[in-house]
Amino acid sequence: MNISIRTSDEMRKFGSRIGKLLVAGDVVVLDGPLGAGKTTLVQGLGEQLGVVGAVTSPTFVVSRIHKASTAGLALVHVDAYRLASGSDLVDLDLDHQQNAVFVIEWGLPYVADFTDDWLEVHVSRDDELTDVADPASGLRDVSLVAVGKRWQSVDLAKLAQ
């Protein structure tokens, strides 16, 4: 599944559409360079879940847990940038979190140590159509890859509509 996204607002909306699909225990992994829009997507996803606290980059704290506001799901937001290995991700002991979804920026190298099922979101900047001097400008190409049984029957193409 592929989609072009032109603004940060659109990226938030796309994140919220992903958020609608999620159930407790789901894992979403985000890939793409610094400034691609990964955290922006998670903001929309967190808004959709209605979690407590502003979603900002967890780069320096590695992980941040946003509690559910009412009966909903909590959001565990991880940035794996500073992790040295997958076992570090396991050491974070995040899966003792009940009723939560896990969103891991830059988690691709480690996610298989953590779960058998995940949704990958690949974000890239289209530099030909982007003002390269302005890190905040431009078109993003987003593609989704679903791994494992959990996602087998989910129609990801709907997310593009």
Residues found near Mg ion in the complex (CB under 5 A): 38-39, 57, 105
Write down the least CB distance from residue 13 to ligand ADP, Å: 10
Beta pairing, strands 100-105 & 27-31: parallel
Q: Residue 108 or residue 150: which is nearer to Mg ion going by CB?
A: 108
Q: What is the C-alpha to C-alpha distance for residues 142 and 2, in angstroms, rounded to an integer?
A: 6
Angle at the Cα of 18 from the Cα atoms of 60 and 68, rounded to 5 degrees: 60
Q: Residue 39 or residue 48: which is nearer to Mg ion going by CB?
A: 39
Q: Residue 69 or residue 137: which is nearer to ligand ADP going by CB?
A: 137
Residues with Cβ within 8 Å of residue 50, at least 6 apart in sequence: 68, 69, 70, 72
32 lies in the site for ligand ADP, by CB under 6 A: yes
Write down the least CB distance from residue 96 to ligand ADP, Å: 26
48 lies in the site for ligand ADP, by CB under 6 A: no
